[in-house]
């Protein structure tokens, strides 16, 4: 790859992180939990983006980031109070900034009107609170607006601005400054843009050639600047080299009639000198860079401790590494194959009858443990907190709230919950859709809310929590809830159910997931994009997840997603059903039992229940339910697995025999075939054959009358 492109990619990756920080910080500021450090963090995020964007000449991004930064600076310095309207603009500015970053990375079109509108808005905030905002009005152009900058003189400004200051700047770079690729030339050039500048290079410290250390810094500069800018602006020139140089800026009040420095020494001369010195130092610098790379790559040995100390700040932040995702995926695939291979090996050894040899058995056990540990560690690499996903949602909420005129607050909980990266990626679309639905369909308009005796501001709660080996994500709104009468009427009108169908509340709620169902009477451009909850349901199912609704009319609805932590492995029980080998996910099994005579009762013509410790639980013959056999098998001949579904419903699944309990690698059935009702996925067993992984919930729902809508449709 083009090295420039690689650097650019890194920049954009960092932008993503900065944007995340920015969003978090702004939200904290908005709800009042932010402190000074939060504001600083937000400022730094925008500043870093601006800095990087400048390096790549991404002008639009720089311009916008600059205005944004200026406004933030006002807040940071206490000149502008972070009141609600200001924070609203800030959040929208963060959205535009994110869009600009995307635009800069991927090209395409960007609506300048949006950024310009916000620039005006942000400037208005600045002006409103500060009388002298004029100076900052078009800061992005300030450098360009000064045609005298190139000359190094600023003749007219003196007359107009009475409070011109003179700064004496003593600048002595440390070697680190050069090591980081900064140059005095640039800094001085930057200073010269602020006003009339004269520079002296102090060469007294340069030792004799024999004593000269090539990596040391011997030069220092004394610059005199006459400028109408304030001290902070002058200091900001040195912002990026902060800590890498000795900097001393002395302000001399210019009102005491000191005539302008008469010495007409052109700024160019020392610049040339500096360039020459820097050129000389180049090979050395390259060596330093190489050495630094080496330090990064390996832990610094003790004798290099001093060097490491000098770069202490760097090393402290080097606890994470960026790894190409493809490499991680390759590793995960390989580990997956390893798991299968280990299972095959174990099986072969068993078949060969070698288990009598204790050492082989121990060896196999150890191998299994190791494989499992490797797998878990590798999976942990991919696990990521859901925070960035949730952050994206807060933006969605803002946009829809604006578009629908609703007042909405997004409350997030459990952002730290970690889930496999693929799950997070593939969750973004369905979650976006659910959030949109919650705001657009779930919440009422402020006037309706007040009429209903609720606060004008609606709340959407987005939460994540780990629950028995899965992650449960909930989208809850405190809106009007699902109008079941209306839902049913629409379903009848659209011919999705028979007009005289008797449905339980839960069944009516589930109608929302039917293809072709949309309750919005007018198709809005927010939710009604022709994508319904059926698509959400299917994408969640494709992830091995489940979605359920609970709703309380007048009090809101909760959509609950239950997802596997990883898409790669699960612990399962290998069972035999009608000569087929199936895997039942272990996390759904409560206990296993062998039914005794007299415990199984018929209930109606087509159902059976099993008595367990005084209670009765529906008994489902898995082979019959899946259509592997046309007659129910004798319950006494099989084994019963007592399971609990996501909805908390208990059922007993009957299988012919339990064979094994093992970790299996999940293989997609959808990739080359499609979704099979009652089957979650496939896996490869030790004998190399494919076994299907049972979707216990779907089996239970299908068999106990909690029909999925599509089956009701078929039945009706």
**Which residues here bind other proteins, judged by CB under 8 A?**
333, 336-337, 340, 538-539, 541-542, 580-581, 626-628, 667-679, 682, 684, 688-692
Q: How far is the CB of 338 from other proteins (least distance, A)?
A: 11
Rounded-to-integer distance, Cα 377 and Cα 360, Å: 26
- The candidate with the shortest Cα–Cα distance to 259, out of 172, 166, 179, 192, is 166
Residue 311: exposure state from Cβ atoms within 10 A (0-12, 13-18, ≥19): middle
Rounded-to-integer distance, Cα 290 and Cα 411, Å: 47
Q: Which residues, other chains included, contact 274 with Cβ-Cβ below 8 Å and sequence gap of 6+?
A: 183, 184, 185, 188, 201, 219
Q: Which two tokens stand for residue 405?
A: 């005129």
Number of other CB atoms surrounding residue 28 within 10 Å: 16
Quote the distance between the C-alpha of residue 689 and its chain's center.
38
Helix (H) or strand (E) holding 183: none
Q: What is the DSSP string of 463-517?
A: EEEEETTEEEEEEEE-S----HHHHHHHHHHTTSS-TT----HHHHHHGGGSTT-
Q: Which is nearer to other proteins, 495 or 627 (CB)?
A: 627
Q: Which is nearer to other proteins, 421 or 538 (CB)?
A: 538
- Note whether 702 and 359 are within 8 A (CB): no
Sign of torsion over alpha carbons 439, 442, 445, 447: negative
Q: How far is the CB of 693 from other proteins (least distance, A)?
A: 11
Q: Which two tokens stand for residue 109?
A: 């079109």
Rounded-to-integer distance, Cα 220 and Cα 97, Å: 39
Q: Which is nearer to other proteins, 203 or 668 (CB)?
A: 668
Number of other CB atoms surrounding residue 356 within 10 Å: 7
Rounded-to-integer distance, Cα 12 and Cα 529, Å: 30
Q: How far is the CB of 538 from other proteins (least distance, A)?
A: 5
Q: Which is nearer to other proteins, 207 or 627 (CB)?
A: 627
Q: Which is nearer to other proteins, 85 or 627 (CB)?
A: 627
Q: Which is nearer to other proteins, 61 or 584 (CB)?
A: 584
Backbone angles phi, psi at 311, to 5 degrees: -105, 20
Q: Which is nearer to other proteins, 305 or 690 (CB)?
A: 690
Q: Which two tokens stand for residue 51?
A: 């800095």
Helix (H) or strand (E) holding 47: helix 36-55
- Note whether 696 and 575 are within 8 A (CB): no
Rounded-to-integer distance, Cα 561 and Cα 547, Å: 5
Q: How far is the CB of 660 from other proteins (least distance, A)?
A: 16
Q: Which is nearer to other proteins, 558 or 566 (CB)?
A: 566
SS3 204: coil
Backbone angles phi, psi at 504, to 5 degrees: -75, 165
Residue with tokens 């340069």: 206
- Note whether 705 and 659 are within 8 A (CB): no
Q: How far is the CB of 133 from other proteins (least distance, A)?
A: 53
């Amino acid at each position: 790859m083009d090295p420039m492109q690689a650097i650019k990619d890194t920049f954009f990756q960092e932008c993503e992180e900065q944007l995340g920080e920015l969003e978090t910080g702004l939200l904290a500021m908005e709800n009042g939990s932010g402190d000074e450090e939060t504001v600083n963090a937000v400022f730094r995020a925008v500043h870093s983006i601006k800095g990087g964007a400048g390096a790549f000449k991404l002008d639009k991004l720089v311009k916008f980031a600059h205005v944004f930064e200026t406004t933030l600076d006002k807040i940071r310095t206490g000149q502008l109070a972070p009141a609600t309207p200001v924070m609203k603009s800030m959040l929208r500015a963060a959205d535009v900034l994110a869009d600009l970053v995307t635009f800069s990375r991927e090209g395409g079109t960007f609506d300048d009107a949006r950024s310009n509108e916000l620039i005006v808005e942000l400037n208005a905030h600045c002006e409103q609170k500060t009388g002298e905002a004029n100076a900052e009005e078009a800061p992005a152009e300030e450098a360009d607006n000064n045609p005298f900058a190139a000359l190094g003189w600023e003749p007219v400004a003196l007359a107009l601005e009475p409070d011109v200051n003179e700064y004496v700047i003593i600048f002595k770079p440390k070697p680190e400054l050069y090591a980081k690729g900064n140059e005095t030339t640039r800094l001085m050039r930057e200073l010269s843009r602020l006003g009339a500048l004269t520079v002296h290079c102090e060469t007294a410290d340069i030792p004799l050639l024999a004593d000269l250390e090539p990596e040391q810094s011997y030069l220092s500069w004394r610059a005199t600047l006459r400028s109408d800018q304030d001290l902070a602006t002058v200091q900001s020139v040195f912002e990026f080299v902060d800590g890498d140089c000795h900097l001393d800026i002395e302000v001399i009040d210019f009102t005491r009639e000191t005539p302008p420095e008469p010495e007409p020494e052109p700024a160019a001369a020392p610049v040339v000198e500096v360039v020459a010195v820097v050129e000389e130092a180049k090979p050395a610098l390259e060596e330093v860079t190489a050495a630094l790379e080496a330090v990064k790559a390996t832990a610094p040995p003790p004798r290099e401790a001093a060097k490491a100390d000098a770069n202490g700040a760097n090393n402290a932040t080097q606890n994470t590494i960026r790894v190409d995702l493809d490499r991680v995926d390759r590793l995960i695939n390989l580990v997956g194959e390893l798991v299968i291979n280990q299972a095959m090996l174990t099986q072969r050894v068993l078949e060969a009858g070698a288990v009598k040899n204790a050492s082989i058995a121990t060896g196999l056990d150890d191998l299994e443990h190791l494989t499992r540990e490797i797998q878990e560690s590798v999976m942990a690499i991919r696990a990521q907190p859901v925070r960035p996903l949730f952050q994206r949602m807060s933006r969605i909420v803002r946009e829809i709230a604006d578009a629908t005129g609703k007042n909405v607050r997004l409350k997030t909980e459990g952002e730290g919950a970690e889930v496999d990266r693929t799950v997070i990626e593939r969750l973004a679309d369905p979650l976006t859709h659910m959030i949109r639905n919650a705001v657009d369909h779930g919440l009422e308009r402020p006037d309706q809310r007040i009429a209903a005796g609720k606060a004008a501001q609606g709340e959407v709660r987005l939460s994540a929590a780990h629950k028995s080996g899965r992650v449960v994500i909930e989208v809850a709104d405190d809106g009007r809830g699902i109008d079941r009468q209306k839902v049913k009427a629409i379903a009848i009108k659209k011919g999705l159910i028979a007009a005289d169908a008797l449905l339980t509340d839960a069944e009516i709620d589930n109608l929302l997931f039917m293809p072709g169902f949309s309750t919005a009477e007018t198709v809005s451009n927010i939710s009604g994009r022709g994508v319904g909850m059926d698509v959400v349901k299917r994408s969640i199912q494709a992830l091995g997840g489940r979605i359920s609704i609970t709703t309380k009319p007048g009090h809101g609805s909760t959509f609950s997603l239950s997802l596997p932590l990883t898409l790669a492995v699960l612990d399962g029980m290998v069972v035999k059903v009608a000569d087929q080998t199936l895997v039942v996910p272990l996390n759904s099994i409560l206990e296993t039992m062998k039914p005794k005579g007299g415990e199984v009762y018929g209930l109606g013509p087509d159902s059976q229940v099993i008595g367990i410790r005084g209670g009765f639980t529906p008994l489902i013959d898995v082979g019959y339910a899946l259509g592997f056999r046309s007659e129910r098998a004798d319950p006494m001949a099989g084994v019963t697995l007592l399971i609990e579904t996501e909805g908390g419903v208990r059922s007993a699944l009957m299988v012919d025999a339990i064979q094994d309990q093992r970790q299996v690698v999940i293989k997609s059935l959808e990739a080359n075939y499609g979704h099979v009702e009652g089957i979650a996925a496939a896996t490869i067993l030790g004998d190399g054959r494919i076994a299907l992984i049972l979707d216990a919930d779907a089996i239970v729902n299908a068999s106990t009358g909690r029909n999925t809508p599509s089956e009701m449709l078929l039945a009706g």
